[in-house]
Amino acid sequence: MDRPKILATHRLFEGPRAKLAEHFDVEYWSDSHRPTRTEVLRRVADKDGLICLLTEKIDDELLAAAPRLRTVANVAVGFDNIDLDACTRRNVAASNTPGVLDETTADFAWTLLMAVARRLIEGDALARSGEWKGWNLDQLCGADIWGKTLGILGFGRIGRAVARRASGFGMRIIYNDAIRAPVEVESELTVEYQERDAVLREADFLSLHVPLLPATRGLIGPRELALMKPTAFLINTSRGPVVQEAALVAALERRQIAGAALDVYEREPQIGHGLLRPNVVLAPHLASASLETRTRMAMMAVENTIAFFEGRQPPNILNPNVWKK
Ligand code: GLV
């Protein structure tokens, strides 16, 4: 029997690649830049399975262009790039990579938080510039982190991992989520559930950990930013469109908040010019980017694909009703 044909829109890493080779005929996209839409549509046309990144839009058009396609494995936990209904209609099993990137993403939310609070990027620029004239009492004074209030919107695995890290800083931690966490979790992490507006009002650092859904698109807009303290910082490692970027720029211009640290943007890879300010730390969507974690994510997508073609339900299937059909 012919081996299933897979398109991987990235060359992945050595371990996942070796595993794929045991099971499939794989065509890789190996260039360092991302493939164009046309390129993906062309290459996927005769494939049985697709392993893709969040830069690929998996919609009806793509599925129609790939009549043999039966499974799509996203190498990401977020799956707002996938039209799940379209996949289900066409009997295509979609999967993602939850769980393996929580701690790494939480580490990065803290990296951003600390960098913006303590003005690390400005300090680095000064240190490299040759202009540093030595220690000075009021030089690049930032904001304390310890003892402050951390507000978390979205209290799933990543939000909780961010909260766990705050205890060493002696912070008060408040959160909001559509679903309140069990009391045991709240007491273990010493967090308080608050209404969303209360979190916005009281947080010194507001960190976003919601998935991108119709209900969370534009969640942070002019009204929400106006509720925040003028001394507060916004940290976003979730998805760009959760924040209304124009409103954020306006709030920064008016000094309605003290600063922001962003890993994600409304229209990636574009970054609005209004965000290029000293009190904004900018990262190019790196939160899960440790070599260990990215390798685990790729391996998980490979395992989801193998399971499918071995007749097992992919462990991280997103539309299990396809499986039951
Ligand atoms: C990265 O943003 C992911 O969703 O895994």
Q: Are residues 235 and 96 in the same domain?
A: no
Our mutation pick for probing the ligand 1 site, out of 55, 74, 100, 101, counting the most ligand atoms within 8 A of Cβ, is 101
Q: Are residues 48 and 15 in the same domain?
A: yes
Q: Are residues 269 and 300 in the same domain?
A: no
pLDDT per residue over 210-227, tens digit each? 999 999 999 999 999 999
Calculate how far, in angstroms, residue 151's C-alpha sits from the geometric centre of ligand 1: 21
Q: Are residues 269 and 125 in the same domain?
A: yes
CATH number of the domain to which 56 belongs: 3.40.50.720
* Ligand 1 atom showing the smallest separation from residue 76 Cα: 5
Q: Are residues 144 and 261 in the same domain?
A: yes
Domain count for the chain: 2
Q: Are residues 190 and 301 in the same domain?
A: no
CA angle 29, 56, 2 (to 5 degrees): 50
pLDDT per residue over 72-97, tens digit each? 999 999 999 999 999 999 999 999 99
Please name every residue paired with 175 in a beta bridge, in sequence order, or none if there are none: 152, 193
Q: Are residues 139 and 176 in the same domain?
A: yes
Q: Would you place residue 324 in the very low, low, confident or very high pLDDT band (cuts 50, 70, 90)?
A: confident
Calculate how far, in angstroms, residue 284's C-alpha sits from the geometric centre of ligand 1: 12
Instruction: Determine the pLDDT at residue 325.
Output: 65
Q: Are residues 160 and 124 in the same domain?
A: yes
pTM of the model: 0.97
Omega of the bond leading into 315 within 30 degrees of 0 (cis)? no
Q: Are residues 141 and 211 in the same domain?
A: yes
- Nearest CA, atom 3, ligand 1: 76
Calculate how far, in angstroms, residue 137's C-alpha sits from the geometric centre of ligand 1: 41
Range of the domain at 44: 5-100+291-324
Q: Are residues 296 and 311 in the same domain?
A: yes
Q: Are residues 146 and 157 in the same domain?
A: yes
pLDDT per residue over 34-72, tens digit each? 999 999 999 999 999 999 999 999 999 999 999 999 999
Average pLDDT, the chain: 97
Q: Which residues line ligand 1 (CB under 6 A)?
A: 54, 76-78, 101, 288
Q: Are residues 23 and 76 in the same domain?
A: yes
